[in-house]
């Protein structure tokens, strides 16, 4: 890794997600697909990051004073809808294919636009009531074991006398307990904050950690377990609001429905809404063991690249992988033409990674390939008859 290269939260996330994705993105520097979920996520993240700078009074917003853009939930929604429209138009008009958003279905851009008020109205109220954080997009940068780590923490705040690290998540408002309790990004943020405290006494004083900060960066701690960490599930808010309004309504009455089926459907819908309420804040903690796991995972990814042990880890996650097009292209390349080892055996090239390093291949003549294909086909038919 050159001096300029470093491990960021997204690099760690990608290495933890799929080695093939890591290889394509960070070693081959393939272009990422601009998936619609990421475009929407960036809009919401950016909106939260600059929330306090752009919040003004009605008068300031009307006069377009000091860069103030909104003053209540409705104007906040309109502002983000306008930004979204500009993103959509930009994607449609760009000549750069990498800048085009890959929509999941026709008209998704309008579905997202219409969903913005449902997210932004409760989000505005929540953020305003909670007040500004101590730090937003807090940068850290440290080196360890000849590796450089650099990142930005979405928010750091003090709550009930405790330091809180917050990461905003868009998309599905549900996260499993394993992800909440073990996600490497929060481990990384804790280690980054501790490293920052270690080198900057004034900073650690701001967080009230000056008495312990000399013990960080492996002296003996990497992770300070007293720091509270949490995911803020942005899209839990509209679901909670929907459940609140549903619970205020009277339960469906059989007499209000023309038939039994419609009645049962209405009951099911209500149960679904009331029985599936996500939480906005998912709290967790980290320990040193999490950090050791993280370092081991990083070293594992580096070693896998070095020895060429890279392969696609196919699964549901592929649908939301920004390397999915590059991955398909790469796999398509390595399976053509038929590859053979030195003895002329056909290689199952998905077992070894020819795309991760030089693989010696003895190219066979076209005739010889055809002959072998015939033999292979014959053996296959024989095997079939013998069943
Ligand atoms: S598409 Fe799937 S297998 Fe390919 S890089 Fe992405 S996650 Fe890995």
Q: Whose CA is nearest to atom 3 of ligand 1?
A: 312
- pLDDT exceeding 90 applies to what percent of the chain? 67
Domain that holds residue 35: 9-130
pLDDT per residue over 35-87, tens digit each? 999 999 999 999 999 999 999 999 999 998 889 999 999 999 999 999 999 99
Ligand 1 mean position to 14 CA, how many Å? 10
Does the structure show a pLDDT above 60 at 345? Answer: no
Q: For the chain, how many structural domains are there in total? A: 2
Does the structure show a pLDDT above 50 at 350? Answer: no
Mean pLDDT of the chain: 88
Does the structure show a pLDDT above 90 at 94? Answer: yes
Question: How far apart are alpha carbons 35 and 42 in whole angstroms?
Answer: 11
In a domain, 39, yes or no: yes
For residue 19, which atom of ligand 1 is closest to its CA?
8
Question: Which of the four pLDDT bands, split at 50, 70 and 90, describes residue 247?
Answer: confident
Identify the pLDDT of residue 338. 55
Last-in-domain residue among 130, 158, 185? 130
Q: Region 182-211: what's the mean pLDDT? A: 95
In a domain, 236, yes or no: no
pTM value is: 0.83
Mutate to test the pocket of ligand 1, among 13, 16, 18 (most ligand atoms within 8 A of CB): 18
Least confident of 96-110, 229-243, 309-323, 354-368: 354-368
Core vs surface per residue 257-292: b (16+ CB within 10 A) or e: eeeeeebeebeeebeebeeeebebebebbbebebbe
Identify the pLDDT of residue 347. 45
Identify the pLDDT of residue 86. 97
Identify the pLDDT of residue 348. 45
In a domain, 49, yes or no: yes
For residue 313, which atom of ligand 1 is closest to its CA?
3
Ligand 1 mean position to 150 CA, how many Å? 25
- What is the CB < 6 Å shell around ligand 1? 18, 20-21, 312-314, 317-318, 321, 323-324, 327
In a domain, 112, yes or no: yes
Last-in-domain residue among 130, 154, 185? 130
HEC letters along 88-140: HHHHHHCCCHHHCEECCCCCHHHHHHHHHHHHHHHHHHHHHHHCCCCEEEEEE
For residue 317, which atom of ligand 1 is closest to its CA?
7
Q: Whose CA is nearest to atom 7 of ligand 1?
A: 318
In a domain, 57, yes or no: yes
Ligand 1 mean position to 304 CA, how many Å? 16
Identify the pLDDT of residue 66. 87
In a domain, 19, yes or no: yes
More confidently predicted of 368 and 91? 91
Question: How far apart are alpha carbons 16 and 185 in whole angstroms?
Answer: 10
Q: In this structure, are residues 257 and 266 in contact, taking their beta carbons and an 8 Å threshold?
A: yes
Q: Whose CA is nearest to atom 4 of ligand 1?
A: 327
In a domain, 306, yes or no: no
């Amino acid at each position: 890794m050159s001096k300029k290269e470093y491990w960021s939260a997204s690099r760690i996330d990608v290495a933890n997600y799929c080695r093939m994705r890591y290889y394509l993105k960070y070693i081959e520097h393939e272009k990422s697909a601009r998936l619609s979920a990421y475009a929407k996520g960036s809009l919401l993240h950016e909106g939260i990051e600059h929330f306090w700078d752009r919040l003004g009074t009605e008068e300031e917003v009307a006069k377009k004073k000091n860069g103030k853009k909104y003053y209540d939930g409705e104007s906040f929604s309109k502002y983000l809808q306008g930004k979204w429209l500009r993103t959509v138009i930009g994607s449609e008009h760009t000549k750069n294919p990498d800048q085009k958003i890959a929509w999941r279905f026709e008209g998704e851009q309008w579905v997202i636009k219409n969903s913005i008020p449902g997210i932004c109205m409760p989000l505005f109220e929540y953020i305003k009531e909670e007040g500004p954080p101590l730090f937003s997009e807090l940068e850290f940068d440290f080196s360890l074991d000849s590796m450089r780590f650099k990142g930005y923490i979405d928010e750091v705040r003090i709550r009930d006398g405790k330091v809180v690290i917050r990461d905003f998540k868009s998309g599905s408002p549900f996260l499993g307990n394993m992800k909440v309790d073990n996600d490497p990004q929060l481990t990384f943020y804790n280690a980054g904050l501790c490293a920052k405290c270690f080198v900057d006494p004034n900073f650690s004083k701001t967080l009230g950690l000056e008495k312990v900060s000399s013990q960080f960066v492996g002296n003996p701690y990497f992770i300070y377990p007293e720091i509270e960490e949490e995911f803020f599930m942005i899209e839990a808010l509209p679901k909670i609001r929907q459940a609140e309004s549903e619970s205020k309504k009277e339960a469906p009455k059989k007499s209000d429905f023309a038939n039994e089926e419609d009645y049962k459907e209405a009951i099911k819908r209500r149960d679904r809404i009331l029985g599936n309420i996500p939480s906005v804040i998912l709290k967790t903690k980290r320990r040193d063991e999490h950090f050791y796991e993280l370092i081991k995972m990083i070293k594992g990814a580096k070693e896998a690249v070095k020895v060429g042990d890279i392969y696609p880890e196919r699964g549901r996650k592929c649908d939301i992988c920004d390397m999915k097009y590059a991955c398909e292209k790469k796999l398509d390349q390595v399976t053509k033409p038929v590859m053979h080892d030195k003895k002329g055996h056909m290689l199952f090239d998905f077992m070894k990674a020819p795309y991760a390093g030089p693989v010696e291949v003895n190219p066979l003549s076209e005739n010889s390939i055809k002959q072998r294909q015939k033999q292979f086909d014959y053996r296959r038919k024989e095997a079939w008859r013998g069943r």
